[in-house]
Structure formats: C-alpha cells, structure tokens
Chain A
Amino acid sequence: MQDLDIISVNIWHIVISLANLVILFLILKKLLFKPVKKIVDKRQKEIESEYKKAEKTQAEADAIKAEWEGKMATAEAEADKIISDAVERADSRNEVMLYESREKADQIIRKAKADIERERKDARETIKKEIVDVSQTLSEQIIGREINMDDHRDLIDKAIDKIGEEQ
C-alpha cells in the first residue's frame, strides 16, 4: 500500500483517536489514580490513628510522670524533714553535751581554784605561825626574858600583815 497524503482528514481516524484518548483516560483513572489515591488515603488514616495512639500514650505517660513526680516530691520532703530532724536533734544534743562539759570544766576549775586558795591560806597561816614562833624565840633570846605573849601578839600580827601586803 502507498503512504497517505501529508494532510488527509479521515472521519474514522478522528473518531478512533477520540476513543483512544477516552480509553487512556479510563485506564489512568482506574489503574493509576484510584489505587494511588486509595493508598494515600489509607496512609493518611493510618497516620491519624498512629497520632491518636501516640497522643494517648503520651497522655498516659504524662499522668504517670506527674504521679511519680508528686511521689518524688513528698519523698523528698520527708527525707528533708528526717534530715532536718536529725540535724536538730544532733544539734541540741551537741549543745547539751557542750554545756555539760563546759559546766564540768568550770566545776573542775573552780574546785582547783578553791583548793589552791585553801592551800595558800593554810600555807600563809603556817608561815605566819612559824614566823611568830621564830620571832618569839628570837626576841626571848635577845631580850632575855619572857615577853608577854598577849602584849605583843598584836604588834607581831601587824608586822606580819605588813609583810604579807608587801609581798
């Protein structure tokens, strides 16, 4: 057969190509657009359900977290209270102990001081007595006669007091 003219209009050709376009339209609609749209919708639904699930689990987790945080907060407060109680008790005991020990030390010091004082008094008394005796003997020997103890006692005491003051 020969070729067609370069431009030749044939009514059946036109009808056939019109039908071809309609057929391709139906093919694309049924085989490409419909399944793809379906799968996209399905994915959209799946994503939405996943989101809902995720939101639900998130809410649950938030609730649990809040609960635990509350528990933790009370536990912490309890622990703080225990610690502060213990510290307080320890402090008070410490103070008592400190006070007691200071008291004891003071007592000891006071006792010691009293002892020292008494010793010193005793010593002074003995020394005074001895000095009086010595001076009596010395003066007996020097004067050669027994002096009247009662006359001179005052005099001697005065002298000794003077010595004590000078010391």
Chain B
Amino acid sequence: MSIVFLILSILSMAAAIAVKVMFVPASDGIDISGAHVFFTIKMPIQDLPITEAQVNSWCVILAVLFLCLFLTTGLKTRNISIRQMVAEWIVEKVTGLVRTNMGEYFEGFAPFIAAILGLSGFSSLSSLLGLFPPTSDINIIAGWAILVFFLITYYKMKAGPWIYLKSFGQPQPLLAPLNIISEVATPISMAFRHYGNVLSGSIISVLIAVGLTKLSNSLFSFLPGALADFPYLRIGIPAVLSIYFDLFSGCLQAFIFAILTMLYVAGGFPAEEYAARKKRRQERAAAKAARSQTAGKHADN
C-alpha cells in the first residue's frame, strides 16, 4: 500500500520531466534565460503566464504530498518500520530546531518551517533531474518572502497596532523612514539572497558548459566529421560543479531561508508587551465577569 505512494511521488517528478521533454524546445544548455512559458491566461492586472517554474513547483508539492502519505501510512506504536523512524526523525528534528530558535510559544511554526525547507530544498534539488529549478525564478521566492513578511508584521502587531507603529520611531523619531526601509528590505533581501544563489549557480554552470564546449571543439578538431563537434569535456566535469551548486548550495540556502524566517518572526515578536497585554485583557475580562455577576445578584434581589 505504502509503496504506491512512493511510486506516485516519483511519478510526479517524472511528470515534470515529461512536460519538459514534450513542450520545452531542446536547447544545448548554453543559453541564459528565464522559465519557458507554456501558455498565458488573461487576468485583470497582469496576464498570468503558466511557466516551467510554476509547473515544477506544483510537481514538487505533489511529490512532497505523496512522500508524506508514504511516510505516514501504517503508523504503529511498537516494532516501528524504517519509514516511521524517518517520519518521526523529521518531525522531531524540525520541532527541536523551531524550539531552540523561536521558543516554546512558536512551536506551531514547525510545519511551516518544514514546508519552507521541503519546498525550497526539493525545488533546488530538482535541477539535478535536469528540470528548471523553481527557486531560480524570482516570483516564487518573492511569494515566500512576502508570506514571511506578513507573518513578521502579524506577530509584531500581536501586542497591539499602537506598539507596532511606535516601534518605527524607536531610537529616534527622525529615523522612522530608515526603519520603514529596513522593514521593507527584509523580504527583498531574503528573496534576492536565495534567488541570487541559485541563479549564480546556474549561470556559472552555463558559463562552464560554454567554455568546455569551446575547449573540446578546439582540442578534438582533428577527429573526422561529426565526431569533432561532440563536446567530450562536458561529460562528467559539470557534475562535480553541480554537487556544489545544486546539492550543497540548494540545501544550504533552504536552511538559511528557514533560519532567517525563524529569527525574524521570533525577533520581531514583542514577548513582554504581549504578555502584559494578555494579562491586562484577562484582568479586564475577570472584572467584567465579576461585575456581571454582581449585577445578576442585584437583579435577583
């Protein structure tokens, strides 16, 4: 039963490869361009082009969904299987990470951090399959960064909008514009950090591929006919670079995005003011309850 989900998970990545093979015109891998546009939908503000990056990220989500189902079918309390050990390990690690970085109050953030890690990591790793990595499209990362920005603002507002507004003029009211700029710069810097890392990796890969093609053409020009045009040096050598740029850099950037999310959200949350406000509210509610009780007594009398 569970193996079906694993097969479905692999199939969803295979579907992304199939879509690429069928609809994206073949290139020799030496052009620097954005995602391929499959078709465009008319939308109010701006037309919505459905691109490779979108399709790939949906495929990644499907793969993660089936992977979750694969990991959590047939959970038992004893004699646990390796699948369940992996699932429990993931949950335990992410929860521990969130607890150490954000504290007990934000423990509900664990699935969100796991979602960031999983989506970003698998998106970056999808370039190992020869797909267009969704993380090298600025729109995808910008969406995540804006969500993180909403979360930061929401948790800053938790102690009341007045405290949030007052925090802009914190050391000096004159510095308010700079504070606003730094507030807006947070999601932008997060988005560009991740995007730039993945994109720089792919650009360097393309440059290396161009260089190796030229080099092998000049080295093997003595071979007859079509044999001379084959880029021999592009076999194997780019794979070594791909270990750094796809595997290491992709995972590291996913981790950094998650860590920065946790730090920003937990750092922006005014814990003391929130606790004070909660206490005040409770007191007020208690006073109200007491008053209504006494009023009821009066009414009875």
Q: Is the CB of B34 within 8 A of A33?
A: no
Q: Is the CB of A24 within 8 A of B143?
A: no
Please tell me which one of the listed residues A12, A18, A32, A38 contacts residue B146 in the complex, with CB atoms under 8 A apart. A18
Q: Does B178 sit at the interface, judged by CB under 8 A? A: no
Q: Is the CB of A32 within 8 A of B91?
A: yes
Q: Is the CB of B119 within 8 A of A3?
A: no
Please tell me which one of the listed residues A4, A14, A32 contacts residue B34 in the complex, with CB atoms under 8 A apart. A4
Please tell me which one of the listed residues B46, B72, B119 contacts residue A24 in the complex, with CB atoms under 8 A apart. B119
Taking CB as reference atom, which chain B residue is nearest A25?
B115
Q: Is the CB of A10 within 8 A of B111?
A: no
Taking CB as reference atom, which chain A residue is nearest B24?
A3
Stretch at the interface among B56-64, B152-160, B240-248, B263-271: B56-64
Cα–Cα distance between A32 and B115 once the two chains are bound (Å): 11
Q: Kindly provide the distance from the CB of A145 to the nearest chain B CB, expressed in whole angstroms.
A: 142
Q: Is the CB of A24 within 8 A of B34?
A: no
Stretch at the interface among B37-45, B163-171, B223-231, B293-301: B37-45
Q: Is the CB of B143 within 8 A of A33?
A: no
Q: Is the CB of A16 within 8 A of B143?
A: yes
Interface size class of B (residues with CB under 8 A): 35 or more
Q: Is the CB of B78 within 8 A of A43?
A: yes
Q: Does B65 sit at the interface, judged by CB under 8 A? A: yes
Q: Kindly provide the distance from the CB of A51 to the nearest chain B CB, expressed in whole angstroms.
A: 14
Work out how many contacts link A and B, with CB atoms closer than 8 A: 145
Q: Does A22 sit at the interface, judged by CB under 8 A? A: yes
Taking CB as reference atom, which chain B residue is nearest A22?
B147
Q: Does B49 sit at the interface, judged by CB under 8 A? A: yes
Q: Kindly provide the distance from the CB of A133 to the nearest chain B CB, expressed in whole angstroms.
A: 125
Please tell me which one of the listed residues B54, B61, B91, B139 contacts residue A9 in the complex, with CB atoms under 8 A apart. B139
Q: Is the CB of A14 within 8 A of B87?
A: no
Cα–Cα distance between A5 and B147 once the two chains are bound (Å): 24
Q: Is the CB of B146 within 8 A of A14?
A: yes
Q: Is the CB of A13 within 8 A of B77?
A: no
Known: A12-B46, A31-B65, A32-B114. A5 touches B78 (CB 8 A): no
Q: Is the interface of B mostly helix, strand, loop or mixed?
A: helix
Q: Does A124 sit at the interface, judged by CB under 8 A? A: no
Cα–Cα distance between A95 and B76 once the two chains are bound (Å): 79
Q: Count residues on chain A whose CB falls below 8 Å from chain B CBs.
A: 40
Please tell me which one of the listed residues B43, B72, B112 contacts residue A32 in the complex, with CB atoms under 8 A apart. B72
Q: Is the CB of A28 within 8 A of B68?
A: yes
Q: Is the CB of A17 within 8 A of B43?
A: no
Chain A residues positioned under 8 Å from B37 (CB to CB): 1-4
Q: Mark A4-42, 1 if CB is under 8 A from B, else 0.
A: 111111111111111111111101110111011111101
Chain A residues positioned under 8 Å from B137 (CB to CB): 4, 13
Taking CB as reference atom, which chain B residue is nearest A5?
B34
Q: Is the CB of B78 within 8 A of A33?
A: no
Chain B residues positioned under 8 Å from A3 (CB to CB): 33-37
Q: Is the CB of A39 within 8 A of B77?
A: yes
Known contacts A10-B139, A46-B78; 19 additional CB pairs below 8 A are A4-B36, A6-B34, A10-B46, A11-B45, A13-B140, A13-B143, A16-B48, A21-B147, A23-B61, A28-B118, A29-B111, A31-B65, A31-B68, A31-B69, A32-B90, A33-B114, A36-B91, A38-B75, A40-B88
Chain A residues within 8 Å of B, Cβ to Cβ: 1-25, 27-29, 31-33, 35-40, 42-43, 46
Chain B residues within 8 Å of A, Cβ to Cβ: 32-40, 43, 45-46, 48-49, 51, 53-54, 57-58, 61, 64-65, 68-69, 71-72, 75-78, 84, 87-88, 90-91, 110-112, 114-116, 118-119, 134, 137-144, 146-147, 199
Closest 6 CB pairs of A and B: A17-B143, A13-B139, A4-B34, A18-B143, A29-B111, A12-B48
16 CB < 8 A contacts A-B: A6-B33, A6-B199, A7-B138, A8-B138, A11-B45, A16-B48, A17-B140, A18-B143, A18-B147, A20-B57, A20-B143, A21-B119, A24-B115, A31-B69, A36-B72, A36-B88
